[in-house]
Structures are given as structure tokens and as C-alpha cells.
Structure 1
Amino acid sequence: MLFNSYEFVFLFLPISFLIYFYLNKKKLVTSSKIFLVAASLVFYSWWNIVYLPLLLASMLFNFFVGQSLGKNKTKSMLTFGILGNITLLGYFKYTDFFISNFNWAFNKDVNLLHLALPLAISYFTFQQIAFLVDSYRGETKEYNFLNYALFLTFFPQLLMGPIMHHKEIIPQFQTRWKSFINWQNISLGLFIFSIGLAKKTLLGDPLTDYAQFAFDFAQNLSPVEAWYASVSYVLSYYFDLSGYADMAVGVGRMFNIDIPKNFNSPYKARNFADYWKRWHITLSRFLGDYIYKSLGGNQKLAIVMYMNIMITFFVSGFWHGAGWNFIVWGLLNGIFVVMAHMMKRAHLKMNLYVAWSLMFMGLILTRILFVSNNFSDAWYVSTTLFDISNFRFSDLYYIDPYMQSFYIVLALGLAVGAKNSMEIAENFKPNTKYMFYTIILLVASLFTFSSAKEFLYFQF
């Protein structure tokens, strides 16, 4: 089920909200949790019920492995649990990738399986691996299965994160005052939700449409068209993914649950090290806590630290997608982060505008690699950006320069020059002004639902 759908806004969300708090009002706390888990499973199954047993099996497996680790902290059990999760993710996400490369390397013709990727598998796998590692480290408590199920399936964050720690959500559902309706939280949650919905539907979707149409004909683009398409994709991914994150935070707040923020104005960063502290924050946190630090983290010996960074970004790239372009994308991001650390160690500073321009150019080049169908398309678009000899503003077939310019200028101005949603929410007051803003954003977004699009990160 999409957040940007009539079914969610007018049926699922209000019905789930009313029943959950009605049960809590009647002091049926266990029943309210069971209902919320069931509602979350319905939310997940709405897309494709075929994969519901997979989610349930994964949840049961990790709960019992986590319980075992809580009693006997053995490396063999931790390894077993992590391998179980990686095997599940690898089978659905990477089998065809490995078969294709095997066929290429050994000149074979093994048939591909063409497995459909279960929705949210990349997210709930990482979330549960973190739980197992924390159980091994003795950082978890004795949670019952209901609380664990609620931690994993709570529907606002189930499909695309944020990737949460157990300690961030389970204690909140055990806090008594959070089980009662809080009108301040409802109004704030609706406001944040409306911002995220507007980001997705009013900015992210149109920019994606423009960019995707151009990239479908990547090797026919002129330099101007390549610039428009590439910048549109850079902006559309931000408004699409951060829009989802805002909606998740907003819905969570309606239920009195604080979901961690996932974005902090990443396009205001001056270098890639700062950018990755602001972009998809909970994924960066997971990679930092469970990959980078496990490798040794920051080391006095710079070359070791840089190698740890590169390995971490290799994992990040491979997590994003089963393709060499994603692996190279991850490594290229790692190189840019290493360069930022090298400059910091050398006490070198750039002019603010020069540093931002280089950072944004890096985002354009890495996003081209991320969204291209193959390396050939990525190389063509990247080199075409700098093909001065063919620079023309006439015969632009693959873009709409007027409408696209409007969306790009508006989106870039908001991403770079305005407060982000969490900063705006800090000054929120449940008054007429904010109610007006909420209604305007919601109504404007509702008119787009007839052509609603799924979120870009659903494919990961």
C-alpha cells in the first residue's frame, strides 16, 4: 500500500488509528499491539501477499536466534543468524547477478531465475541483523515475541525505513502515556506527513518523469538534455526518499512514536563525508556501527582507515542493487569520502561555493551511474555533459525546458536554501496558520493520486 493513495489516507490510516487507541483506552494493551501488528501485515500484504510468509518466517527465525544469543552469547550462533539473513537476501536479490556473471566468466548458458524482489527485504534484513549483533553484545533486553514483531513490522517504517534499533521503538510502545491520543502529536504528525506527501507527489514524481523519459533515450541526449535529466534525477531521488521518511515520521508521531529522522538537508553539504552524514542517516548509521566499526573504524594509520571506508561503501553499493553499476557507484562514493578525509587531515579548506559546486557535481556523476541501465549509457551521459562542441538550446526533444526549469529551480531552492521538514517542525504550533499549511499541502497532493507512483527505493 502506498502512502500516496486514497486507500491509505482515507481508509487504512484512520481505521488503524481509531481501533488502536480505542483498544488502549479500554486498557486492552496487548490486544492493541496485536491489532497494530496485524494491521502492519495487512499494509505489507496489500502490495503482494505472496511474500507475507517470507516476512513472517524471517521474523520468527531472528527472534529465536536473538533469544538464544541473549542467553548464550556464542559467535557460532551469531554467525548462523547473520548467514541466515544474508542467504535469504542473497537468494532473492543477487542470484541472477551471480548467474549472469558466472555465464559471462565461463561462457555458460545457465538460465536466470528472474526472481521478483520481495518488498522491503533489504530493510527488514538489515534491521534484524542489527538486532542480532546487539543481542550478542548484550545490548538487548528480554523482549517477548509481540514486542519484537511490533518493532519489525510497525507499518510507517516497514517498507523503506528508517532502519531502526530495537531500543528506539520497543520502549516507546511500553510507555503508558503513549497509549493515549495526543492531539498535539496528531496535528504535528499530520503537518509533517503533509510535507512529505507534497515532496513526493508535487516535486519528486514530476522530476522523476522528466528524468526517466530522457534516460530511456540516454544515448540520444544532447548536452543540455543530459544536464536537465541528470539534475532532475539528483533532485527527484532526494524528494522521493526524504518525502517517504517525512511521511513515516509523521504517521509515527500520530501514534505517539518518535521515528528517527533520515535526512538532514544533505544537499547543503560541502563534501561527501558530510553528505553521507546527512543522507539516509539510519543506513549510514547501520553501515558505520556494524561494518565500519567492525573493521576497526577510525585508525591512526590513515591507509587502514581509508580501506575501511572503501569496504563499507562497497557493501553500501552492493546493498543498493545487484549490478556492477551499483558496486562502482558505492566505490566512487567511497573515493569521494576518502578525499574529504584526506583534505581534513591535511588541513585544506576550499571556498564554500567551490566546495559545494564540486560536491554537487559529484552527486550528478554518481547519480548518473546509479540510474543508468548500463555502463555505456552512464559513460555517454557523463561525457555528454562536457561536450561543449554540441552545446545547443534548440531541438530539445527529450526534455521540457520550461516546465523542467521551473521544477529544478524550485526543488534546488528548497533543498539548498530552505529549512528542512524537521527544522520547520521544531517551530510547529497547533494553530490556524499551520492547519492552513497542512490542508493546502494535503489537498494539492490528493489531486495527484490518480497518477500515483511507487517510491523509487521500492526496487531496493
Structure 2
Amino acid sequence: FLNSVLYDITGIIWFKEFGTSLKIILPLAISFYTFQILAFTIDIYRGKYTEDISLLNYMVFIMFFPQLIAGPIMRANEFLPQLQGKTEIDFKSDYIYKGMLLVALGIVKKVLIADNIAGVIDPVWQNPSQYSSFELFIAIHGFTWQIYGDFGGYTDVARGAAYLLGYEIPENFKAPFLSASPREMWQRWHITLSTWLRDYLYIPLGGSRVGEFRNQFNLVLTFVLGGLWHGAAWTYVIWGFFHGFFLVLQRIMEKLGFKQIFPSFPGKIVSIFFTYHLFFLGAIPFRSKNMSDFFLVSEKVFLWNSNIKSSILTETVIGLCFLALLIQIFEYKEYFPRVLWKIRPVFTPLIFLLLLILIGLYSGTGKEFVYFQF
């Protein structure tokens, strides 16, 4: 990435070609467990974690298999105490039930929602020039919900597997697309990465203790670096800057007294609508293969040159997004635990049987988890 930046600035071809003959294969999930190790090391240095741990417990913490590949990013003070004195799996009935429910819900998100959406939108993103503005608009919506189903589904399965083994790992998604502001969105989306960036980048840079301009700069810089964590490409830099900018804009508006523009319930629905569509716009650089595709898709969507028409693409994406929205509404009010806990003695087997039937009937072509590449 640095070479490409230097090539763009200088035009010297050597920068573009340097190192292209090297074939370096990065270990799977290196960014996730690297962040976990860094956080643990920094916490020890800061004196936030002072307990002695065995080598075995340290290795379990770093290589805990349910979350090793794509998180959530665990903290030592949350997980290591669960290992103290434990010599065998502790099968708790409530953990088993929570685990089964989360695994089933995660499979629904991944297999029924994310994979089926991916099957119809991937061709659009491979050749965006061949599709109309409306089809690209639907594909952006589709990817927004695909990434939720894919990554959120993986997290649910990871947390469920951990519960089945007798452990609890942190939640990563809390109905993010029902957020009423950019800040709330990042308190609900990829929570463990957001809090990691806050605690180990934003606060060390000065956080809110510095002047207003420096604070806003730190916020944008943190998100730009968060974008680069996803990949060394200009599209990810734009994605990070975009989200950082709107967080700064929200902060400025609050300073001016606009803490809640739409305080009523209908107003909150409007806020949710706008917040979701900001995230939707951020999906354009995130999903684009390169800057050319980013400019092409942006131009087609903003200059709109097509009619609205029904197709398999439209019907599939809208239907599956609606299903995902229903799941988020249940998650937002924590409806699953409060209701399903009460009916589990009778209906638990039927619920899982129904889910298995749905997965068997409507599962799409299996796709690799999107965040495996990070």
C-alpha cells in the first residue's frame, strides 16, 4: 500500500513494481488475535491486569477456537477469570440453552440471509458497469445486510459454541441498523473493534482531554486507521474517513445544542432511517474492488439514470433484508431471551427442527465468511 501511495505521488514506476515478486502468505485471522495480544500486553504495561497466569491459560485465551478466526476480540480481564481453577467443562443448563439458541440464530443469519443475498449481488459487484443505478442501489442495500448476517452470524455461532463449552465471550452486534445516530451505530456495530480502537488508539492520542480541533482530528484518524485494519487500500481509507467525519459532525451538532433533532417516536424512526443510510453509503467504498469501481458505483447511484423495476435481484434482497430487520427488532428489545426462556421446555426441540428445515430448504450456495480476509 505504501508503494502504491508513493507511486501515485511521484509517478516513479519502481515504487509500483517493488516487492511484487514476493509471495507472502499471511496467517489466517492474524489481525484479530494480534489485537487481542496487543491489548493484553498494553493492559499489563498500564497495570490494568496484574494477575499471574499459566502458559496454558494464556494459550487458551489467545487461541480460543470459537472466536479465533473472526472475533469477537476478547479482553483478558473478561475471559481469563473464567479459566481460573477450571479443569473440566462446566455444563450449565442455561449456558447450553443460550449456546444452542445462538448457534441456530447465527446459522440462520449466515446461511439463510447472508449467503442467499451474496448469491444475487456478487455478480453486480464483480461488473458494476453492466448494471443500472437501481440494481446497484439494491446491491448496496444487499451488501449492507449481507455483512450483518455474515459477520453477526459468525459472532453468534462463536458465542454459542463458547456457551456450550461453559464460557462467555463478549457480544459484538446489538441491532446496529436500529441506531438513531452515528455514535449509537458504533456502539452497536462490531463493538469489540470499536472499543479496542477507543481504548488503545483514540484515548492514547488524547481522547477528549485535548482541544476541540485535536479531538476531532483524533476521532477521524482513529477511524482511518480502523479502515486500514480492514485492508491496505484507498477504499478502506475513504470508508474510515467517511465514518469518522460523521461522528465529528454529530459531535459539532451536539456542541451547538442539537442533541436530539427528532425527539418524538416518529422522529426517532426518521433518525434511524438517516443513520442506516449513512452506513449504507459507507458500504460503497467498503465493497468496491478498487477506486475505479468506487467512483463508478457512486456516480451511477447519485446521478440515477434508470427506472425502478422488479427482478430476482430486487425481490431476493428486499425479502431477506426484511427477515434480517425482524431479527434486529427482536434483538433490539432483547426479546429472544425474555420470551424463549419461558417456552423452552416444550418448544425448544420444535424451534430447532424448524430452523433446520428452513436451512435445508432455503440455504444458498455456501460462501466463505467475509471477515476471514481480515
**TM-score strictly above 0.5:** yes
- What is the alpha-carbon distance in structure 2 between the residues aligned to residue 291 and residue 369 of structure 1? 23
Q: Does 1:411 align with 2:319?
A: no
Q: Does 1:444 align with 2:358?
A: yes
**Partner residue of 2:175?**
265
- CA gap of 1:180–1:359, structure 2 versus 1, over 3 A, is closer
- What is the alpha-carbon distance in structure 1 between the residues aligned to residue 333 and residue 112 of structure 2? 15
- What is the alpha-carbon distance in structure 1 between the residues aligned to residue 229 and residue 95 of structure 2? 34
- What is the alpha-carbon distance in structure 2 between the residues aligned to residue 294 and residue 111 of structure 1? 33
1:392-407 correspondence runs (5 A): 392-393=308-309, 400-407=313-320
**Alpha-carbon contact 1:188-1:428 (below 8 Å) kept:** no
Letter of the 2:330 partner, please give it: A
1:50-449 correspondence runs (5 A): 97-104=1-8, 105=10, 106-108=12-14, 109-112=17-20, 113-140=22-49, 141-176=51-86, 179-299=89-209, 301-348=211-258, 349-351=260-262, 352-393=268-309, 400-415=313-328, 417-420=329-332, 423-429=335-341, 430-445=344-359
Alpha-carbon RMSD across the aligned residues, in angstroms, is 2.3
**Partner residue of 1:453?**
367
**Alpha-carbon contact 2:119-2:364 (below 8 Å) kept:** no
- What is the alpha-carbon distance in structure 1 between the residues aligned to residue 160 and residue 319 of structure 2? 28
- CA gap of 1:126–1:218, structure 2 versus 1, over 3 A, is same
**Alpha-carbon contact 1:192-1:425 (below 8 Å) kept:** no
Deviation at 1:408, TM superposition (A): 2.7
Percent of aligned pairs with the same amino acid: 31
Letter of the 1:445 partner, please give it: I
Letter of the 1:360 partner, please give it: Y
- CA gap of 1:438–1:347, structure 2 versus 1, over 3 A, is farther
Letter of the 1:98 partner, please give it: L
SS in 2 for 1:386: helix
Deviation at 1:273, TM superposition (A): 1.1
Deviation at 1:428, TM superposition (A): 3.9
Deviation at 1:195, TM superposition (A): 0.5
- Give the TM-score normalised by structure 2: 0.89
**Alpha-carbon contact 2:243-2:282 (below 8 Å) kept:** yes
Deviation at 1:422, TM superposition (A): 5.6
**Alpha-carbon contact 1:127-1:152 (below 8 Å) kept:** yes
- What is the alpha-carbon distance in structure 2 between the residues aligned to residue 178 and residue 139 of structure 1? 28
- What is the alpha-carbon distance in structure 2 between the residues aligned to residue 270 and residue 117 of structure 1? 38
Deviation at 1:162, TM superposition (A): 0.7
- What is the alpha-carbon distance in structure 2 between the residues aligned to residue 158 and residue 278 of structure 1? 21
Deviation at 1:243, TM superposition (A): 0.6
**Partner residue of 2:265?**
none
Letter of the 1:350 partner, please give it: I
Letter of the 1:387 partner, please give it: L
**Alpha-carbon contact 2:133-2:305 (below 8 Å) kept:** no
Greater Cα offset, 248-257 or 344-353 = 344-353
Deviation at 1:211, TM superposition (A): 1.9
Deviation at 1:209, TM superposition (A): 1.9
Letter of the 2:348 partner, please give it: Y
SS in 1 for 2:359: helix
Letter of the 1:364 partner, please give it: F
**Alpha-carbon contact 1:230-1:364 (below 8 Å) kept:** yes
SS in 1 for 2:91: coil
SS in 2 for 1:252: helix
**Alpha-carbon contact 1:195-1:421 (below 8 Å) kept:** no
Give the number of aligned pairs: 360
Greater Cα offset, 195-204 or 107-116 = 107-116
SS in 1 for 2:167: coil
**Alpha-carbon contact 1:222-1:392 (below 8 Å) kept:** no
Uncovered stretches (5+) of structure 2, i.e. residues with no partner: 263-267
**Alpha-carbon contact 1:263-1:278 (below 8 Å) kept:** yes
